């Protein structure tokens, strides 16, 4: 009986010792994990692309340096290509067209006889009356044929000087204050896609059209320096898109319009530092164009500004720069 009691007591002691050992080991493991977690919490977080705080993953962005450049204000309008001089040729008497000596596309000189008109009436006979061109150029229109009856107000021909073409367009009233002779422009033509031509204003109407509230202007084609030129591929009657440069500033910090964000009445952008951390900057803007913005404050030339991916950034976010 005593031997059984001793055996039971020994077994109980062994179980107690095992439990104490297991509890101690568990306590050591828990303490080790707590210390490790505290160390990881205190250590700086390092992510792809740089280092910094916070728990968000690095955002993928594209950046570009802020550079000094030229920014222009432009007005884009449509116009037509015309001949510089376009004159209608009229007969001096009315009657029947007896002879047409030239046709559309023919060249003519001032003083040439271009048609003959028979002023005779029934029962009367008169000599043919010659129609004389008053200008030199190319025949652009010839709306009448032999046998037609014309009057002194009928234009038998329209003659124009194709050696020097002009662009005619009409500027809306709100832009009139910026229009002046000598102002430069760029021109594109639907007939010549992908090409850009230079032009300058050489004629400005002194009054606005009261019906359309527009100002008529005419431009001549020029080279980049402003000297008149003529491209033989350009023809009268072509449709033109004119971009007038109303004002320009050189050597100022400019950024793409897409790089700036307009929020709560303020323009902002994000600049990336050497640790690939994005910083929010409020911008002071100057002149604006269709594609660019002049920045007068908030960033400096040489700063790396986020040009793509900035819409989901917050101040202090880590970024990963890609090409």
Whether residues 78 and 177 share a domain: the answer is yes
In degrees to the nearest 10, what's the CA dihedral of 276, 282, 286, 291? 50
Whether residues 132 and 268 share a domain: the answer is no
Exposed e or buried b for every residue in 224-248, given b needs 16+ CB within 10 A? Answer: eeeeeeeeeebebebebebbbebee
| pLDDT for 54 beyond 50 | no
Whether residues 244 and 258 share a domain: the answer is no
- The CATH number for 304's domain is 2.40.420.20
Tokens representing 2 are 């005593």
Whether residues 212 and 154 share a domain: the answer is no
Whether residues 184 and 78 share a domain: the answer is yes
Whether residues 209 and 119 share a domain: the answer is no
The string of pLDDT tens digits covering residues 243-298 is 998 888 899 999 999 999 998 889 999 999 999 999 999 999 988 887 899 999 99
Query: Which contiguous run of DSSP H or E holds residue 175?
Result: none
State the pLDDT at residue 285: 92
Q: Please say which residue of 135, 160, 185 terminates a domain.
A: 160
Supply angle C-alpha 141, 143, 147, rounded to 5.
140
Whether residues 124 and 270 share a domain: the answer is no
Whether residues 120 and 269 share a domain: the answer is no
State the pLDDT at residue 178: 87
Whether residues 78 and 184 share a domain: the answer is yes
Whether residues 245 and 266 share a domain: the answer is no
Q: Please say which residue of 160, 182, 201 terminates a domain.
A: 160
Whether residues 195 and 78 share a domain: the answer is yes
- The CATH number for 101's domain is 2.40.50.100
Whether residues 258 and 244 share a domain: the answer is no
Domain assignment of residue 298, given as a range: 50-70+251-321
Closest CA to 256 of 129, 101, 67: 67
The string of pLDDT tens digits covering residues 90-104 is 999 999 999 999 999
Helix (H, G, I), strand (E, B) or coil at 75: strand
- The CATH number for 224's domain is 2.40.30.170
* Total domain count, the chain: 4
């Amino acid at each position: 009986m005593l031997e059984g009691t001793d055996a039971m007591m020994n077994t109980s002691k062994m179980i107690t010792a095992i439990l104490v050992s297991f509890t101690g080991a568990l306590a050591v493991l828990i303490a080790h994990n707590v210390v490790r977690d505290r160390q990881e919490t205190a250590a700086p977080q390092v992510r792809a692309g740089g280092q910094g705080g916070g728990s968000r993953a690095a955002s993928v962005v594209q950046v570009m340096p802020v550079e000094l450049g030229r920014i222009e204000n432009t007005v884009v309008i449509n116009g037509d290509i015309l001949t510089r001089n376009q004159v209608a040729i009229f007969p001096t008497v009315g009657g029947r067209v007896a002879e047409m000596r030239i046709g559309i596309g023919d060249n003519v000189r001032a003083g040439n006889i271009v048609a003959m008109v028979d002023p005779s009436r029934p029962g009367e006979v008169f000599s043919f009356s010659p129609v004389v061109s008053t200008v030199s150029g190319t025949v652009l229109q010839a709306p009448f044929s032999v046998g037609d009856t014309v009057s002194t107000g009928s234009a038998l021909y329209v003659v124009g000087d194709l050696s020097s073409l002009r662009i005619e367009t009409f500027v809306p009233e709100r832009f009139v204050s910026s229009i002046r002779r000598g102002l430069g422009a760029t021109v594109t033509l639907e007939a010549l896609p992908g090409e850009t031509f230079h032009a300058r204003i050489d004629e400005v109407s002194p009054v606005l059209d009261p019906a359309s509230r527009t100002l008529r202007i005419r431009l001549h084609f020029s080279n980049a320096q402003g000297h008149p030129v003529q491209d033989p591929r350009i023809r009268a009657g072509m449709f033109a898109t004119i971009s007038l440069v109303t004002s320009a500033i050189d050597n100022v910090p400019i950024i793409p319009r897409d790089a700036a964000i307009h929020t709560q009445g303020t323009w902002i952008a994000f600049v990336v530092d050497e640790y690939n951390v994005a910083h929010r900057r409020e911008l002071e803007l100057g002149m604006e164009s269709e594609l660019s913005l002049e920045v007068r404050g908030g960033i400096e030339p040489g700063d790396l500004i986020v040009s793509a991916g900035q819409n989901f950034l917050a101040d202090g976010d880590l970024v990963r720069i890609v090409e």
